[in-house]
Amino acid sequence: MKRTALTAVALLVVAACGGDGAGAGSTGGDTAVTVEETIAAPQTAMPGQVEIEVDGVTGGNTQILLTMIQSRDRGHPMGVSCAQIDDDPWSFSGLVYPIEGDHPCALGTTPIEFEPGTYEAIFGVFTGGRRSPDQCVKVEFEVNGKTTVTAPAMAAPCDLEF
């Protein structure tokens, strides 16, 4: 965002040259000069929702994609996105919600508004009932307004703890 600010107004007074009569005299007067400068306004970090995107997940038909969001300095999930994988290949886009209950896919009804800052998204493809994902990947991202986090290719076997 840019704003135009009046940064300087200068009043220049040009004085007539006093001389020895050898040169032509100059006529002086008051001249107002206005200088405008375009400056960048400071950026204000904004809270926002986080949208999860995955594209082309293969080999996960009938499994669950669980994405957990946590801040870098916390060890527990702040919110999750959970979706049933029902095709091969499979793609998904959805917002992050609070967990409401004991099951990580028991989600609240209102998406979370995350404060500005650095977070981690941990994407995992799970077989129902298992505690360890078959594929996973971790991504660090910044929230500044509504943010979309796209999962890169997931690795199998998964070496991350959920």
pLDDT at residue 57, as a whole number: 87
Residue 106, token pair as written in the block: 């028991």
pLDDT confidence of 78, banded at 50, 70, 90?
very high
- 37-70 pLDDT, tens digit per residue, is 556 656 788 999 999 999 988 887 889 999 999 9
pLDDT confidence of 77, banded at 50, 70, 90?
confident
Better pLDDT: 3 or 77:
77
Structure pTM? Answer: 0.70
Q: Integer distance in angstroms from the first to the last C-alpha of the chain?
A: 40
- Portions of the chain given CATH number 2.60.40: 50-150
59-62, long-range: CB < 8 A, 24+ apart: 59/88, 59/135, 60/85, 60/88, 60/90, 60/125, 60/134, 60/135, 61/85, 61/86, 61/87, 61/88, 61/90, 62/86, 62/128
pLDDT at residue 29, as a whole number: 57
Residue among 103, 60, 59 nearest 82 (CA) = 103
Specify whether the CB–CB gap between 63 and 161 falls below 8 A: no
Q: Where are the beta strands (DSSP E) in the chain?
A: 2-14, 29-40, 50-57, 64-71, 79-84, 90-95, 117-126, 135-143, 147-150
Distance CA 126, CA 67 (A): 10
Output the CATH code of domain 50-150.
2.60.40
Burial group, residue 53, by CB count within 10 angstroms (0-12, 13-18, 19+): middle
